[in-house]
Amino acid sequence: MTPSAPAPTRAAARPPGRARPFAKAAAAAYRYRVYLLCTIIFAVMGAAAPHFLTPGNFSNVLKGTSTNLPAAVGFTIVLIAGQLDLSVGSAMTMGGILVMGLSPSLGWAGAFGVAVLCGLGLGLTNGLLVAKARINSFIVTLGTMIIVYNAMAIYCRGGTIPATTFALSDFLQRPVVDLDPRGAPPALLWLTLWLTPRNLVSLAVMAAAAVFLRRTPAGRGLHLMGGNPQAAWYSGLHVDRYVIGAFALSGLLAAVGGAVVAAGEAAGSLKLGENSLMTIVAAVIIGGTSMEGGKGTVVGTTVALVALTALINGLSCLGAGHEVQLVASGLVLALIILYDAYWLHRRQRRRGQRKDLLEELQARAASDPPAGRGSQGAPSAPGPGREGRSHG
Amino acid sequence: MSPPPPAARRTRPPAGGRVFGALNVLGVYGLVGGLFALGCAISREFISPDNLMNALRAVTLLGIVAVGLAFVTYSRHYVDLSIPGIMALSGTVAVWALKFGFVPSLAIGLAVGALVGLVNGLVIGYLRLNPIIWTLAMMSLLSGVIRWAYAGRQIYPDKATAAGRAFLELYHHRLLGLLPLPVAVLLAVAAGGYFLMRHTGYGARLKLTGSAYEVARLTGINVRRAVAGAFVISSLTSAAAGVLLTSFNKVGAVYIGGGYDFRTITAVVLGGMTLAGGRGSIVGVLGGVAAIALMNNVMSLVRVGQFVLGDFQQNIVQGAVFILVVGINSFARRRTGGDDA
């Protein structure tokens, strides 16, 4: 076989012009995979589970989402900065327990203030240790996760701190607009049911973070810094400040989230952030944020969190136990990242290929009769390097 | 993560280089020695053979798991978060397989663990998925599957059969009436791990893979297989520890092995293995395990009047020491010009 003959590949075997009929659809499906996943979960659960698509249950899903949303937003920001924050779960627990423990003496406003400040302090500590002491963020946040959790266990003596009054809890859980369920149109009723202050806080955090990441110079700098710290450093960004800021935001948001949840539930306990880390990591990754840094959206995280919460909620509507929920969320996470890896693998295989060259090759493969291939001495074009980088 | 150091920082002779160089060589054994001295100073009980033996027994299983996990960290793939799942799975399956006899049950338990490790290795090594995320998903899957299979019931080895009695005896068995079996397993695993990492081609390939993945690949090393192998080794040691822990607890259950993920990575990193890969040794990892053992032991001996350090306080101290020691380590390595990160 002479070097001029390109090996028969799948792309070359197709008739020209209709090279990849579903390429656009596949690319769109990949790009909007979070929304697709969310839609599929809602469709399947809506069809299979009784009572899943009712206003009351939907507000349950949103309540579950808003529990982890602020911390997940913070986690997204840290991941975009190219770091990892394992302490978000502990920070949520801290926010919740401090608010409950301090509110009798300081009042709600004071307790919230202290809790949020402590979250900020935790984040700043993480950030300083990572940026200035240059310790790997995995190690720093693993350490602070353990320290904060145990400090809180000492503070609440391993138990639950109940609220002394339920006024705030009632306020947080009740819809802002109270409609008479008989007179109002159903659509409006659905909407108002979700608009509880508790959900609104999470929504506001999410919106603010989305605007910050997309529309401000600092947000764009964060993306640059996370994607390529050296380039960011060369272009004059204070890399350390961005890292510290990202961790500070993460600690602050997680504490806010934990405080609101505890106030809403009228109890703060060590269990509050127990499973949050797993859920948050899963949601953020499914939402399309990259572990490598520099890439990710808050909206994706939110949609993924809604999807995961809906999945678990729907499974419990179906009567499935905790174990099925664990398997299902693990499976969804595994499938999504496998799909991700497959897509990346394909793109890397085609990286460096020039479109015009590919088309030329395809045209030639189509016009050449298979028997005469290699003997006609066609001008040799360098192979598109399909085997170039199959991994790495 | 860190910005490139300006050229000036590179060329300046490192201040205190000799001190930090010594720190690097001593590594975690400095900490072990310090803790030992502290223990002797605090309490007379400390150096009694009984106490030291207890301290050692408390971390034997941790040591076994840590030696395996060290290979994963060595290959720059951070951590295997599915370790608790593998431990619970292999222990539970071993108890289930006792009806086939004692030795087959151990073999099946180990094989199931290795199978999970193989899946991890194939996915992470060959498909290049992020190890943290994949093993997290695997952990969730495994704990769900175990709960599913046993519907939340715990399964007990049957004392009526010889195999069941042998299984329950396993953890407390003493080789030649002297050496406890878990300690013997730890010694064997550590020796094997040391040999594999230092004196075989695989160890050398893994070191290069961990230090510079792309360079290793271009050199012609089968990097995918090297990484996959590291996960299989990690799962094998976890499975062994899981079977032993199940024998100790006398019950196969999903919560067996809980907490071993973060505790092990603490020991591994404390022992001087860097998350940047390709650095550290099994001897260091054993030092890390010993440091954790001594730290817990010394803290449990601290008594100032009525004040005793509880579990929570001990954990806080441990977390702080962890960050501090790793910080000093990486600082020393930078100062002696060994490392940028």
CB atoms within 10 A of CB A392: 11
Cβ distance of B326 and A229 shorter than 8 Å: no
Evaluate whether B141 touches B123 at the Cβ level (below 8 Å).
no
Average pLDDT over residues B311-318: 87
B interface test, pick of A79, A122, A134, A279 with most B CB neighbours within 10 Å: A134
Residue B326 touches chain A, beta carbons under 8 Å: yes
Residue B130 touches chain A, beta carbons under 8 Å: yes
Select from A330, A320, A256 the least CA-distant residue to A98: A256
Confidence at residue B149, expressed as pLDDT on a 0 to 100 scale:
82
Residue B200 touches chain A, beta carbons under 8 Å: no
Distances (CA, A) of B63 to A351, B110, B260, B290: 44, 17, 11, 8
Number of A–B residue contacts, CB under 8 Å: 157
Span B171-217, pLDDT tens digits: 888 887 778 899 999 999 999 999 999 999 999 999 999 999 999 99
Evaluate whether B289 touches B62 at the Cβ level (below 8 Å).
yes
Answer whether residue B5 shows pLDDT above 50. no
Cβ distance of B262 and A142 shorter than 8 Å: yes
What are B155's strand-pairing partners?
A: B252
Q: How close, in Å, is residue B175 to chain A by CA atoms?
A: 37
CB nearest to A326's CB, from B1, B129, B147: B147
Chain B residues with CB under 8 Å of A142 CB are 262, 265-266, 322
B window 105-124, beta carbon within 8 A of A: 123
DSSP state for residue B180 in the 8-state scheme? E
Answer whether residue A392 shows pLDDT above 80. no
- With CA atoms as reference, the chain A residue closest to B152 would be A323
Chain B residues with CB under 8 Å of A289 CB are none
Least confident among A287-301, A371-385, B6-20, B321-335 = A371-385
Confidence at residue B24, expressed as pLDDT on a 0 to 100 scale:
61
Cβ distance of B148 and A138 shorter than 8 Å: no
Beta strands at B303-304 and B179-180: parallel, antiparallel or unpaired: unpaired
CB atoms within 10 A of CB A264: 24
CB nearest to A229's CB, from B3, B133, B217: B3
Q: Is B77 exposed, middle or buried (0-12, 13-18, 19+ CB in 10 A)?
A: buried
pLDDT grade for A20, boundaries at 50, 70 and 90: low
- Cβ-based neighbours of A256, under 8 Å, separated by 6 or more: A70, A95, A116, A119, A201, A205
Chain B residues with CB under 8 Å of A83 CB are 1
DSSP state for residue A216 in the 8-state scheme? S
Using the structure block, give the residue that is written with the tokens 């809890």: A169
Residue A384 lies in a domain: no
Residue A377 lies in a domain: no
CB nearest to B322's CB, from A143, A291, A330: A143
Answer whether residue A8 shows pLDDT above 70. no
Residue A92 lies in domain: 24-349
CB nearest to A391's CB, from B128, B136, B331: B128
* Phi and psi angles of residue A160, each rounded to the nearest 5 degrees, phi first: -115, 140
Span B105-149, pLDDT tens digits: 999 999 999 999 999 999 999 988 889 999 989 998 998 888 888
CATH number for the domain harbouring residue A185: 1.10.3470
Amino acid at the residue B16? G
Q: How close, in Å, is residue A339 to chain B by CA atoms?
A: 10
Answer whether residue A116 shows pLDDT above 90. yes
Q: Is A371 exposed, middle or buried (0-12, 13-18, 19+ CB in 10 A)?
A: exposed
Taking the C-alpha atoms of residue A81 and residue A76, their distance in angstroms, rounded to an integer, is: 9
Read off the pTM.
0.85
Evaluate whether B261 touches B269 at the Cβ level (below 8 Å).
no
Taking the C-alpha atoms of residue A239 and residue A226, their distance in angstroms, rounded to an integer, is: 9
DSSP state for residue B179 in the 8-state scheme? E
Taking the C-alpha atoms of residue B97 and residue A15, their distance in angstroms, rounded to an integer, is: 56
- Cβ-based neighbours of B302, under 8 Å, separated by 6 or more: B42, B308, B309
Residue A227 lies in a domain: yes
Q: How close, in Å, is residue B179 to chain A by CA atoms?
A: 34
Answer whether residue B7 shows pLDDT above 50. no
Residue A270 lies in a domain: yes
B interface test, pick of A142, A230, A234, A332 with most B CB neighbours within 10 Å: A142
CB nearest to A331's CB, from B3, B141, B312: B141
Residue A250 lies in a domain: yes
Indicate the helix (H) or strand (E) that contains B175.
Answer: strand B174-175
Chain B residues with CB under 8 Å of A285 CB are 133
- Token readout for A267 is 């109890």
Residue A107 lies in a domain: yes
Using the structure block, give the residue that is written with the tokens 């500070």: A248
- With CA atoms as reference, the chain A residue closest to B270 would be A139
CA B67 distance to own-chain centroid: 5
Select from A336, A340, A264, A379 the least CA-distant residue to A38: A336
What are B180's strand-pairing partners?
A: B174
Confidence at residue B114, expressed as pLDDT on a 0 to 100 scale:
96
Evaluate whether A139 touches B269 at the Cβ level (below 8 Å).
yes
Answer whether residue A207 shows pLDDT above 80. yes
Distances (CA, A) of B72 to A337, B175, B237: 20, 30, 12
Strands (E), chain A: 160-162, 267-269
Residue A4 lies in a domain: no
> What is the ipTM for the molecules in this complex?
0.85
Evaluate whether A386 touches A9 at the Cβ level (below 8 Å).
yes
- Token readout for A198 is 């508790």
Domains in chain A, number: 1
Residue B330 touches chain A, beta carbons under 8 Å: yes
Chain B residues with CB under 8 Å of A238 CB are none
DSSP state for residue A319 in the 8-state scheme? T
Taking the C-alpha atoms of residue B70 and residue B274, their distance in angstroms, rounded to an integer, is: 10
Residue A41 lies in a domain: yes
In the CATH scheme, what is the code of domain B26-335? Answer: 1.10.3470
Distances (CA, A) of B207 to B66, B199, B211: 17, 12, 6
Span B205-224, pLDDT tens digits: 999 999 999 999 999 999 99
Q: Is A372 exposed, middle or buried (0-12, 13-18, 19+ CB in 10 A)?
A: exposed
